[in-house]
Amino acid sequence: MGLTLQRVAGALVLLAAGVLSLPLAAAVFDRQGAENLIVPAQLLVMAALGAAVCLLVPALARDGASRGRRALTGVWWGLLAAAVGVLVFWLIISGFEGA
């Protein structure tokens, strides 16, 4: 598999997970006293998933990056995907014209 295809596949996996992570976290933590854990849980899961994906798909990090550097790069990719997921749901709920 070429580097470009690896990058696209890794990015698509993270974007799909980012879009699905917020409603899944809300489904788990949507109860009295736990609703404040939804966003931190989403961010933790996406950071861990990003690190795992970047370790499995080294093309997402720079060439020659160490294992720790690849994991840290994956954390940032995961958090970016989580932010994109929140933006997508905000646009779905509010629309382009606002609330």
Which candidate, 56, 21, 53, 57, places its Cα nearest to that of 39? 21
- Tell me the pLDDT tens digit for each residue of 55-94: 999 888 998 899 999 999 999 999 999 999 999 888 888 8
The 3-state DSSP composition of the chain as helix, strand, coil percent (nearest 5) reads: 80, 0, 20
Structure letter (DSSP) for residue 33: T
Torsional sign, CA 66, 47, 83, 24: positive
- CA atoms of 69 and 75, how far apart (whole Å): 10
Contact 54, 73 (CB under 8 A): yes
- Tell me the pLDDT tens digit for each residue of 11-65: 999 999 999 998 999 899 888 888 889 999 999 999 999 999 999 998 889 988 9
Residues in the chain: 99
